[in-house]
């Protein structure tokens, strides 16, 4: 067989807390098999994991936006999109994207300065199909991509660029260009700009693929429930015959020093800001690793303390540029340009002091920090996609590891953490953050300044007969239930017991990674619990700080975080399984011994007042208000708690938060969920020891299940003060509360709606990232078009009317039964595939069990749901369409400038529109 291979397997006992023999340890098993095809140079890494039925297939290409040719910023990103449009079976057949959508339970791709990465997850039996897809993409490239497809996909990329086209979003690009030297490989942002990418041609894209998408520049990564030998055989079968070809040289990344001078940018933004940036050593060098680690830690500490700064609204750290010459930045949003000198003085002092602390502390303190890093690293490997991403980065960038050695990447990284010298971090940070090496860019507000990305005059013309070619399905399959759909096993081992105080405990042992996830849920204690004090429930969750004397949490690095949804308050933690007792006690201490700070509350109230003075914030709030009022009624708790007003924030004080906690965070409302590799008997003992002393308290009632009665459709436009290249739009239909016997049919209907949205994306190219979703709630919910916005999604403003008209026409066609059976078949298959794609990730399983607890579902619910989806009939879905997709209950709410709102509604054929302007304060 024409390949070279390296194989390694290890079972490591990772010691934490000390090097003594009595130190707590946990087992971390990992296998890697690496190889290189001699026929073309393709590298591959296999990481089998017998604990999961899923497989992950990724491919990493060593090419990024730094290879964009002059005058074609964004070409690498466009090529990434085109790799989904390959048509191996000919130009009139379906693109490979359709096969991916039908096959994968999860998929994505991205481009950055250095890298282009594609990933897919599916069930293990689909491994060969996934490998074949990647081989076909590599072999065919842009062959058989019709010119019309290219132009449409170029329009998709342009729309993605325009989604970030405002002056506020474009500032990053201008700051980067102001600091990096002219012509530097990282001078430009990744996505490109509309004027340049609109002029790109299919021939240029094909030439780019030919130059850089060569096998020897690629690494194939496979992880999950796969057999090593079988997978090697599949790789040989599908990739070995791809011809070897010499790739073009990569664009060189040169080290650079910044000019220590003040530069100014005028932009049409609401607030001034100052950016301070430092060039860092390459991230794949020891100095670069230490600099990034130390500087990010210091910057984030500064950001957390930003509420104390009188000169700034916020302080935000970020890293721009690629791995080989990164740029560390602090963005300070100023309370006026008169605060600039104060902000610069602060930044200079902060940079000067950032190194402190790294060379302090005992040997034990440094060892504890290293152990926390080890535990955090292993936690970050639990998801297959995170595992492949981590190893892909190491393969591409590591200088201290030989791909052809018998060592393993992940254990190599653990060894590096063990040898990490914290004392040296301080010296590296001190040198990197020298004030003489700082670049300063001041952004001044001005209506004559940068407006955002400049729109090209190139217009996309839809061909009358253009349509997305679907993979063939047999419509007759809709008439038949799916036999032997399968059985879900991931939750079969779950157990439950109830304490005398009313607290329920659900436990699930999962023999996978040495990790545990725990969640403490308080049902009916979410945002909707206090409609007359709308910010109370969310603030009670967000502001609850753990006790300062929690030494165990500090030593182990275990974190506890709480958040409120509309229907529940959830505290969660995640960590190495040897710390199960620390996690459960930490959750208990967070609730019982945690505190609220009046000083923090007042500082937050001040920030809310300042944020709500921005016109953009008031416009966003009015848009969200109109959507919720239309769906649920203005008086429903979901509507009252949907936005954070200054008035709602001002109602809060420490005593009100304490009173809410005492009233709602009691055993009678609580369910504790524990998932992971632990002994259930021990888990039950710890849970009882920690929580049995809690009081039952008052059991909270659920939110009102019914929405306000509708008298007809709602069409609302919320006006913005600035012209924008995008409009934000919600198209929604109210849906009933909860998860009842119609859940299977509703999931199929939701996916059928999504297929209709995908059809518009593939025809018009103007609705990037939009999909229909239905998220169950205890109260009323909806089928809603989402994507790219906190509510709803964004669409190209110039083509929004055309797009919304097409979306609504597709829904009308669904009501009329046009291609109903084909969409039904594909949607039902997709739902079943998603249910069968069972995860062994502890946090995901904990979330699924938490959902079951919130809705009062039995452990066998998802198996029942699987069988119901397999048996659901077209007649059931048609009945739902009649009652739940009624045009008389349609909600269309848009946010945009007045001219674009009028244009969009008119071109969409929507009349009786109510235009609303925020009551600016």
- Condensed to tens digits (0 to 9), the pLDDT of residues 70-81 reads 999 999 999 999
**Which candidate, 492, 590, 560, 604, places its Cα nearest to that of 838?**
492
Strand, helix or coil for residue 443 = strand
Nearest to 642 by CA among 626, 661, 656, 659: 626
The pLDDT tens digits for 724-744 are 888 999 999 999 999 999 999
Statement: residue 19 has pLDDT above 70? no
Residue 863 CA to its chain's centroid (Å): 28
C-alpha–C-alpha distance, residues 374 and 282, integer Å = 23
Beta strands in 473-539 (DSSP E): 495-498, 504-509, 515-523
- The radius of gyration computed from the CA coordinates of the chain, to the nearest angstrom, equals 28
Closest CA to 805 of 777, 763, 746, 843: 763
pLDDT (tens digit per residue) in 123-154? 999 999 999 999 999 999 988 898 988 999 99
Whether 495-691 and 705-916 share one fold: the answer is yes
Which run of H or of E encompasses 878? helix 874-884
Q: pLDDT band at residue 194, thresholds of 50, 70 and 90?
A: confident
Residue-wise pLDDT tens digits, 92-102: 888 899 899 88
Burial of 912 from C-beta contacts in 10 A (0-12 / 13-18 / 19+) = exposed
Residue 279 pairs with which residues in a beta bridge? 327
Please state, rounded to an integer, the average pLDDT across all residues of the chain. Answer: 91
SS3 900: helix
pLDDT bin (cut points 50, 70, 90) of residue 588 is very high
Cα-to-chain-centroid distance, residue 813:
32
Q: In b/e form, how buried is each residue of 661-689, taking b as 16+ CB within 10 angstroms? A: beebbbbbbbbbbbbbbbeeeebeebbee
Contact call for residues 36 and 400 (beta carbons, < 8 A): no
* Distances 196 to 80, 83, 188, 227, 595 between C-alpha atoms, Å: 17, 20, 12, 46, 54
**3-state secondary structure labels for all residues of 804-834:** HHHHHHHHHHHHHCCCHHHHHHHHHHHHHHH
**End-to-end Cα distance, the chain:** 73
| pLDDT class of 23 with cuts at 50, 70, 90 | low
Beta bridge partners of 106: 121
pLDDT band at 234 (very low <50, low <70, confident <90, very high): very high
Q: What is the pLDDT of residue 30?
A: 84
CB-based contact 625:643 (threshold 8 Å) = yes
- pLDDT, position 160: 84
- Angle 626-897-610 from CA coordinates, rounded to 5°: 65
DSSP string, 576-597: EGGGHHHHHHHHHHHHHT-B--
Instruction: Go through 205-230 and write b for each residue having 16 or more CB atoms within 10 A of its CB, e for each that does not.
Output: bbbbbebbbbbebbbbbbbbbbebee
Considering only CA atoms, which of 471, 467, 461 is closest in space to residue 763?
467
Which is higher by pLDDT, 216 or 363? 216
Counting Cβ atoms within 10 Å, is residue 71 exposed (0-12), middle (13-18) or buried (19+)?
Answer: exposed
Largest CA distance in the chain: 76
CA distance 323 to 330: 18
C-alpha to C-alpha distance for 689 and 693, rounded to whole angstroms: 8
Q: pLDDT category, 114, cuts 50, 70, 90?
A: very high
- β-pairing, 891-897 vs 714-720, is parallel
Instruction: Show Cβ contacts of residue 811 under 8 Å, excluding neighbours closer than 6 positions.
Output: 753, 756, 885
CATH superfamily of 705-916: Metalloenzyme, LuxS/M16 peptidase-like (3.30.830.10)
Residue of 218, 222, 242, 241 lying closest to 232 (CA atoms): 222
Q: Of 84-93, 143-152, 332-341, 759-768, which one has max mean pLDDT?
A: 332-341
Is residue 686 classed as helix, strand or coil in its secondary structure? Answer: helix
Q: What percent of the chain has pLDDT over 90?
A: 72
Task: Name the nearest CA neighbour of 801 among 724, 913, 916, 910.
Answer: 910
**Alpha helix positions (H), 653-797:** 654-664, 680-691, 743-764
Q: Give per-residue burial for 702-735: e unless 16+ CB within 10 Å, then b.
A: bbbeebbebeebbbbbbbbebebbbbbbbbbbbb
Helical spans, DSSP H, in 501-579: 536-542, 551-556
pLDDT per position as a tens digit, 375-398? 889 999 999 999 999 999 999 999
To the nearest 10°, the Cα dihedral for 618, 620, 626, 628?
-120
20 has pLDDT over 50:
no
> Which residues are within 8 A (CB) of 69 and not within 5 positions of it... i.e. 6 or more apart?
75, 204, 208
Residue 374 has, within 13 A of its CA and on its CB side, a CA count of: 30
Element (H or E) spanning 231, and its range? helix 228-239
CATH number of this structure's domain 31-239, picked from the four choices 3.30.750.24, 3.30.930.10, 3.40.50.300, 3.30.830.10:
3.30.830.10
Q: Is the CB of residue 885 less than 8 Å from the CB of residue 731? A: no
2/146 Cα distance (integer angstroms): 36
Position 359 scores a pLDDT of 66
**What's this model's pTM, rounded to 2 decimal places?**
0.93
Q: What are 413-430's pLDDT values in tens digits?
A: 988 888 877 778 888 999
Model confidence at 21, in pLDDT bands (50, 70, 90)?
very low
Q: Give the pLDDT score at 13.
A: 55
Residue 633 Rama label (left phi>0; alpha psi -120 to 50; beta): left
Please answer whether residues 850 and 570 qualify as being in contact, where contact means their C-beta atoms are separated by less than 8 angstroms: yes
Cβ distance 119 to 205 under 8 Å? no
Q: What is the pLDDT of residue 353?
A: 85
- How many Å apart are CA 334 and CA 226, to the nearest integer? 54
pLDDT in tens, 591-623: 999 999 999 999 999 999 999 999 999 999 999
Element (H, E) at 727: strand 726-735
Q: What is the pLDDT of residues 340-377, one digit of tens each?
A: 999 999 889 888 888 887 766 666 667 777 788 888 89
Buried b / exposed e over 368-377, threshold 16 CB at 10 Å, is bbbbbbbbeb
What would the two tokens of residue 784 be? 């809603």
Q: Indicate the SS3 state at residue 891.
A: strand
Residues 6+ apart with CB under 8 A from 447: 268
Helix, strand or coil, per DSSP, at residue 435:
helix
Q: Does 169 have pLDDT greater than 90? A: no
CA angle 730–736–739, rounded 5-degree value: 115
CA distance 885 to 816: 12
* Residue of higher predicted confidence among 918 and 466: 918
Cβ distance 862 to 489 under 8 Å? no
Given the candidates 3.65.10.10, 3.30.830.10, 3.40.50.300, 3.40.50.1100, the CATH classification of the domain at 495-691 is: 3.30.830.10
Q: Which two three-digit tokens encode residue 226?
A: 């796969």
**What pLDDT is attached to residue 725?**
86
Going from N- to C-terminal start, the domains of the chain cover: 31-239, 495-691, 705-916
Closest by alpha carbon to 824, among 775, 758, 753, 761? 753
Q: Decide if 96 contacts 86 (C-beta within 8 A).
A: yes
CB 855 within 8 A of CB 778: yes
pLDDT in tens, 443-499: 999 999 988 777 777 887 776 555 545 557 889 999 999 987 788 888 889 999 999
For residue 447, the SS3 value is coil
Does pLDDT of 324 surpass 90? yes
Q: Is the dihedral of CA 571, 575, 577, 579 positive or negative?
A: negative
State mean pLDDT over 816-825.
Answer: 96
* Contact between residue 292 and residue 286 where contact means Cβ atoms under 8 Å apart: no
């Amino acid at each position: 067989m024409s390949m070279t291979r390296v194989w390694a397997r290890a079972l490591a006992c990772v010691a934490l807390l000390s090097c003594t023999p009595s130190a707590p340890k946990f087992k971390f098993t990992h296998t890697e098999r690496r190889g290189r095809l001699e026929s073309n140079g393709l590298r591959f890494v296999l990481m089998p994991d017998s604990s999961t039925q899923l497989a992950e297939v990724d491919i990493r290409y060593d090419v990024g936006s730094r290879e964009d040719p002059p005058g074609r910023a964004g070409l690498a990103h466009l090529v990434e999109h085109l790799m989904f449009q390959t048509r191996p079976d000919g130009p009139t057949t379906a693109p490979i994207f359709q096969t991916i959508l039908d096959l994968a339970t999860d998929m994505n791709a991205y481009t950055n300065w250095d890298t282009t990465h594609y990933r897919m997850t599916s069930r293990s039996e689909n491994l060969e199909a996934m490998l074949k897809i990647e081989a076909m993409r590599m072999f065919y490239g842009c062959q058989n991509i019709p010119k019309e497809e290219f132009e449409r996909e170029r329009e998709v990329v342009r729309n993605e660029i325009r989604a970030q086209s405002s002056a506020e979003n474009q500032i990053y690009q201008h700051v980067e260009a102001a600091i990096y030297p002219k012509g530097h490989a990282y001078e430009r942002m990744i996505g490109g700009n509309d004027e340049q990418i609109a002029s790109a041609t299919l021939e240029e894209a094909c030439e780019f693929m030919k130059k850089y998408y060569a096998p020897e520049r690629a690494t194939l990564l496979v992880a999950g429930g796969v057999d090593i030998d079988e997978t090697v055989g599949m790789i040989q079968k599908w990739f070995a015959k791809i011809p070897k070809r010499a790739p073009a040289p990569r664009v060189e990344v040169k080290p650079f020093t910044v000019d220590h001078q003040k530069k100014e940018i005028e932009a049409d933004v609401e607030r001034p800001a100052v950016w301070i940036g430092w060039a860092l050593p390459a991230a794949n060098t020891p100095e670069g690793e230490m600099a990034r680690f130390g500087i990010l830690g210091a910057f984030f500490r500064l950001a957390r303390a930003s509420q104390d700064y009188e000169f700034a609204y916020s302080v935000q750290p970020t890293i721009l540029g690629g791995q080989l010459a990164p740029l560390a930045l602090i963005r300070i949003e100023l309370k006026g340009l008169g605060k600039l000198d104060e902000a610069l003085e602060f930044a200079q002092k902060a940079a000067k002091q950032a190194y402190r602390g790294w060379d302090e502390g005992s040997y034990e303190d440094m060892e504890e920090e290293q152990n926390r890093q080890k535990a955090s690293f292993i936690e970050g490997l639990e998801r297959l996609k995170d595992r492949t991403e981590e190893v892909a980065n190491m393969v591409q960038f590591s200088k201290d590891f030989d791909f052809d050695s018998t060592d393993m990447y992940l254990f190599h990284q653990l060894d590096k953490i063990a040898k990490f010298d914290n004392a040296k971090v301080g010296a590296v940070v001190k040198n990197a953050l020298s004030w003489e090496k700082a670049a300063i860019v001041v952004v001044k507000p001005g209506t004559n300044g940068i407006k955002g990305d400049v729109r090209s005059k190139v217009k996309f013309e839809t061909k009358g007969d253009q349509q997305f070619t679907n993979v063939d399905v047999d419509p007759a399959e809709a008439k038949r239930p799916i036999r032997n759909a399968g059985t879900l096993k991931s939750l079969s081992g779950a157990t439950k017991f109830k304490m005398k105080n009313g607290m329920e405990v659900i436990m699930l042992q999962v023999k996978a990674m040495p990790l545990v996830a725990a969640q403490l849920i308080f049902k009916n204690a979410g945002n909707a619990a206090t409609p007359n004090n709308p910010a109370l429930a969310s603030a009670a969750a967000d502001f609850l700080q753990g006790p300062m004397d929690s030494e165990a949490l500090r030593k182990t690095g275990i974190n506890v975080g709480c958040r409120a949804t509309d229907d529940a308050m959830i505290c969660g933690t995640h960590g190495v399984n040897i710390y199960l007792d620390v996690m459960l006690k930490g959750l208990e201490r967070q609730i019982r011994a945690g505190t609220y700070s009046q000083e923090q509350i007042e500082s937050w109230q001040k920030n809310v007042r300042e944020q709500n003075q921005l016109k953009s914030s008031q416009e966003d709030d009015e848009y969200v208000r109109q959507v919720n009022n239309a769906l649920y009624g203005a008086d429903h708790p979901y509507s009252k708690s949907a936005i954070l007003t200054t008035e709602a924030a001002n109602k809060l004080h420490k005593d009100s938060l304490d009173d809410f906690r005492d009233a709602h965070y009691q055993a009678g409302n609580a369910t504790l969920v524990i998932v992971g590799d632990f002994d259930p008997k021990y888990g039950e003992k710890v849970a009882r020891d920690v929580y049995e002393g809690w009081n039952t308290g008052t059991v909270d009632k659920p939110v009102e299940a019914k929405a306000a009665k509708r008298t007809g459709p709602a069409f609302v436009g919320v006006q913005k003060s600035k012209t924008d290249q995008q409009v934000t739009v919600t198209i929604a239909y109210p849906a009933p509360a909860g998860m009842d016997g119609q859940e299977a049919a509703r999931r199929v209907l939701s996916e059928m709606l999504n297929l209709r949205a995908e059809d518009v994306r593939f025809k018009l190219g103007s609705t990037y990232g939009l999909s229909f979703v239905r998220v169950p709630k205890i109260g009323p919910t909806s089928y809603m078009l989402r994507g790219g916005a906190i509510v709803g999604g964004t669409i190209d403003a110039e083509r929004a009317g055309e797009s919304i008209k097409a979306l609504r026409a597709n829904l009308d066609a669904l009501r009329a039964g046009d291609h109903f059976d084909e969409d039904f078949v594909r949607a039902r298959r997709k739902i079943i595939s998603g249910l069968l794609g069972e995860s062994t990730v502890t946090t995901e399983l904990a979330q699924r069990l938490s959902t079951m607890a919130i809705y009062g579902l039995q452990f066998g619910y998802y198996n029942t749901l699987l069988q119901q989806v397999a048996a659901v009939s077209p007649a059931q879905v048609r009945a739902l369409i009649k009652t739940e997709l009624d045009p008389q209950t349609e909600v269309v709410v848009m946010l945009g400038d007045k001219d674009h709102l009028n244009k969009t509604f008119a071109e969409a054929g929507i009349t009786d529109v109510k235009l609303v302007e925020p009551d600016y304060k």
